[in-house]
Amino acid sequence: MSTVESANAIHLAGVGVRLGDTDVLRDISLDLNARTIAVIGENGSGKSTFARLISGLIHRTSGELSVLGVDPNRKAAELRRRIAVVFSNPDAQIIMPTVAEDVAFSLRADRLPPAAVKEKVDTALERFGLTALAERSSHDLSGGQKQLLALCGAFVRNPELVIADEPTAYLDARNSRRVADHLFEDSGHRLVLVTHDLALAERCDQAVVFAGGRVDAVGEPAAVIARYEELLAC
């Protein structure tokens, strides 16, 4: 079966990623098909590199990869239209001066009429509890508000896949819960969540643990987390 025909949302066969003179990911073979997928592992194990790889932000050095049936090396623009990426630091994703303008900026590629943009932006602001902040300066928001804005900008495009790399890393408990609830809410998207928060990983349908740039285990989250805890105890 070719990678394009693969039924798995994310399919890797023998994938390697070399950055500079380091083999950061080695011989990754993985089929991920659950709606919500946790990626866990120690610092430096390769999780963010994996997230960037499946987002099409970096290229593999070897092997086969398809994400939503698309090879990111060959159809990067198509993949970018269908996925959204969220990082720990929302400042990297906030571009426009006001909150409403920043959400509207995410829709620029769709070339919609202004009234349609406004309707989508208003609906998304409402969903993320940002309506009252619509005209506020986006750069003056608190860290928690900025992360909600980054999520709002990601979800307003109705992505098929959201790839979130430690999205709650800098948030207090209440904002972490809010952000996680939005990520897990079923709005027809799949979620790949890189996290050190094992309670969040446990909420996922499938989990992968990375160790030393390789996949150490994949499967049902409770079993994969137990395996990871064994690794940490070594």
Ligand X SMILES: Nc1ncnc2c1ncn2[C@@H]1O[C@H](COP(=O)(O)OP(=O)(O)OP(=O)(O)O)[C@@H](O)[C@H]1O
195 near ligand X, rule: CB under 6 A: no
Q: Whole-number minimum distance, CB 44 to ligand X, in Å?
A: 4
Per-residue contact track with ligand X, 157 to 186, x per CB under 6 A? ------------------------------
Q: Which amino acid is at 9?
A: A
DSSP H or E segment with residue 223 = helix 221-233
How far is the CA of 157 from the CAs of 38, 81, 148, in angstroms?
A: 22, 8, 15
Query: Which residue is associated with the tokens 């309506």?
Result: 131
Residue 36 in contact with ligand X, rule: CB under 6 A = no
Q: Examine residue 66 and tell whether it contacts ligand X (CB under 6 A).
A: no
Closest CA to 164 of 182, 143, 146, 138: 182
DSSP letters spanning 105-119:
HTTGGG---HHHHHH
128 touches 103 (CB < 8 A): no
Backbone angles phi, psi at 13, to 5 degrees: -135, 110
Three-state DSSP class for residue 32 = strand
85 binds ligand X (CB under 6 A): no
Give the count of residues interacting with ligand X (CB under 6 A).
12
Neighbouring-strand partners of residue 192: 37, 163
C-beta of 62 vs 98, nearer to ligand X: 62
Closer by beta carbon to ligand X, 22 or else 123: 22
Q: Give the whole-angstrom CA distance, residue 226 versus residue 144.
A: 31
Q: Which stretch binds ligand X (CB under 6 A): 45-53, 100-108, 176-184, 214-222?
A: 45-53
Stretch that binds ligand X, among 6-14, 46-54, 65-73, 104-112 (CB under 6 A): 46-54
Asked if 20 interacts with ligand X (CB under 6 A), we say yes
Asked if 55 interacts with ligand X (CB under 6 A), we say no
Taking the complex as a whole, the smallest distance from the CB of residue 43 to ligand X amounts, in Å, to 3
Does residue 73 touch ligand X according to CB under 6 A?
A: no
Q: Binding of ligand X at residue 72 (CB under 6 A)?
A: no
Question: Does 47 help bind ligand X (rule: CB under 6 A)?
Answer: yes
Assess contact for 217 and 38: CB atoms under 8 A: no
Give least dist CB 50 to ligand X, A: 7
Q: Which is nearer to ligand X, 107 or 169 (CB)?
A: 169
Query: What is the chain's length?
Result: 234
Which residues make up the interface to ligand X (CB under 6 A)? 19-20, 22, 24, 41, 43-49
